[in-house]
Amino acid sequence: MAAGGCGPDDDALTFFFQARPDEARVRLRIIDEFRRRHPDIRIRTLVSGPDPLQQMLTYCAGGRCPDVLMAWELLYSGLAARGVLLDLNTLLDRDPNYAAALRADSYPALYRTFSYAGGQYALPEQWSGVFVYYHRERLAELGVVPPSRWRDAWSFEEFLQVARAATRYDSSGRTRWGFVDAWVPYFSAACFGMNNGAEWFTPSVDPTRTNLGDPRFAAGFQFYADLAVRHGVAPKTAETLSISAPDLFRSGRAAMALGGHWLFSEFAGHDDLPLDVTVLPVGPHGGPGAITDVGSTGLAIAADSPRIEQAWEFVKFATGPVGQAIIAASGLFVPVLKSAMESPGFAAAHRDVRNLEVFTDGPAHSRPLAVTPAWGKVSALLDRGCNRVLRGAATAASLRGRFAAEVDALLRAW
């Protein structure tokens, strides 16, 4: 795999993506199978560094934009608005039978996430919404059987009671936490807000306002913050500086951990970690059933690619039945086609998971966080304001009024 750019005279199709080594191997299996079926199309991979958006912008500004690009839910609209990405409707419209079959096999929430300003700028390739991992034996000792389906979610109060019961302090001062967060904390808090009956942004795609000031959203956000700062069932930020949330869960020092499927390969297969998965809790104004974030990545095509036809063949393959079957059987990703989700390969890759419906029904219960070209500026502002709440330096009520208005101004200024 290559890490550098591609020369303008290179006739290979270039594919830009970000992945850990084991994930990259799965993508290479998809590429190998594509090459077997399309020996006339060569592919060169470009693996992203830590800042994929900046790297893509640098490539494209220099006239070396990769032909096929990984697209992130929170980032792709900025590239679409700059004209970097091709509207895939121009290709889908040429083949209405294929387009209809794709949409019928897709989860609408994931597919629509990559629809921006009337265009379809990527096709989903894997789902990575968040849920809750739990230590099966630890909760069984407490007589707790967590929900196995999104539509049968537990309440905020039930979740808190379990987290309290699972939190233990020993004589050495080490804590066994009831709950830890292995994601981005203010994103997680937003999901709790959404599970109390209010969207984070309205509308989710190309939003014009935030709902930080909605009392339902604020109460859900505050409930999440209070798990650490008030109830003491989760570590505060300073307490996770020396050991990460995944390490706390993997070592048995946390009974539950919020995260996505990207953690599954780290947790699974350890005899001393009998894990399972459950859904997020629902607040008094939320439901029925729990929801999560879309968390999806997709595949896009550069608008100025000289190899659009070859790129389209690869995107269709990777996001279609064969590519998705490889993803499903890998155990490293959750596929985005219903047919792949229901495949024996996906079930076999997760044979030790009893609550498999948390994965298979996750996409249908997903909601976008925000799709806006202004996300870079918005996220910087949210990071400052929201993290004050999560540290206990302010309450979620502080995000109303002036702060929410500043976020709205950034959204509308785009």
Give the residue-averaged pLDDT of 326-339: 95
pLDDT at 49: 83
Say how far apart CA 45 and CA 66 lie, in whole Å. 9
Distance CA 171, CA 235 (A): 18
pLDDT digits (tens, 9 = 90+) for 391-400: 999 999 999 9
Q: Is the pLDDT of residue 37 over 50?
A: yes
All residues at 6 or more sequence positions from 218 whose CB lies less than 8 Å from its CB, including other chains: 193, 212, 396, 397, 399, 400
Q: What tens digit of pLDDT does each residue of 216-250 get?
A: 999 999 999 999 999 999 998 878 777 899 999 99
In the predicted structure, residue 175 carries a pLDDT above the cut 60: yes
User: Which percentage of the chain shows pLDDT scores above 90?
Assistant: 86
Confidence band for 173, pLDDT divided at 50, 70 and 90: low
Q: How big, in percent rounded to 5, are the helix, strand and coil portions of the chain?
A: 45, 15, 40
Question: What DSSP character marks residue 184?
Answer: -
Cα separation, 183 vs 258, in Å, equals 7
